[in-house]
Amino acid sequence: MTNSVIALRGVRKSYRLGKVEVPALWGLDLEIQGGEFVALAGPSGSGKTTLLNLVGCLDKPTAGQVLLDRVDVTNTSLDRLADIRSSKIGFIFQTFNLLPVLTAFENVEYPLLLSGVPRKERHQRVDEWLEHVGLTGQAEQRPDQLSGGQRQRVAIARAMVTRPVLVLADEPTANLDSETAAQILDLLGSINRETGVTFLFATHDPAIIARAHRRIRLRDGRIAGDERNHQVIEGVLNAR
């Protein structure tokens, strides 16, 4: 398929604990297309985090091939992987991972600083995304002055400000109450529809799984199920 953002071909991943090799993924074949809103589900130890680390260019497979945005990243150097992460991937974490000494504005701006984006463009893009997530009035507040939902909105703006092709979200609602989590999911869904950015969630949250266009279930390092949520997809198409 020509619009593939993620492609895994025969991917295996093992970790060595002393003299013992512990398998985490067993020969995965998986393709995710541009614009998909995908939930990666499964019990703890099923391989969700390992898969996210491989797709996010944070780790390399023991065997097989990983392609991101049609680029083979399997044997890429660490420096090149860092460049790919900063330009193509946004990350949203369960614990927000904001820098506590920086304001909301500065947290969103930080990846652009690292990428050498000029000041005027940085500020324009940060302002745009803070407005998009509803935090224009909180731009000068630090993380400890924000609620959990507001901190996650800052994290979403930070993930999107680099204009990624893919956003990886690891349990993004786990530290939020149900009402705030629903609002965050509404926001992520609208960003997906408006920008066409691909979202891949690793989650136990049934609310995320229910809203996903596609649900991939892992068990013991293998794909145990891969189904499309046609009711959700039809609703999205009708909304357009």
Low-confidence ranges of the chain (pLDDT < 50): 1
Q: What is the pLDDT of residues 188-207, one digit of tens each?
A: 999 999 999 999 999 999 99
- CA torsion through residues 183, 125, 2, 41, sign: negative
Q: What is the pLDDT of residues 2-44, one digit of tens each?
A: 589 999 999 999 998 888 888 999 999 999 999 999 999 999 8
Return the H-helix or E-strand segment holding 133: none
Give me the amino acid identity at 41.
A
pLDDT for 1: 45
- In this prediction the pTM is 0.92
Helix axes 148-160, 104-114, angle to 10 degrees: 20
pLDDT for 78: 84
Domains within the chain, CATH numbers bracketed: 4-239 (3.40.50.300)
Contact of 201 with 172, CB cutoff 8 Å: yes
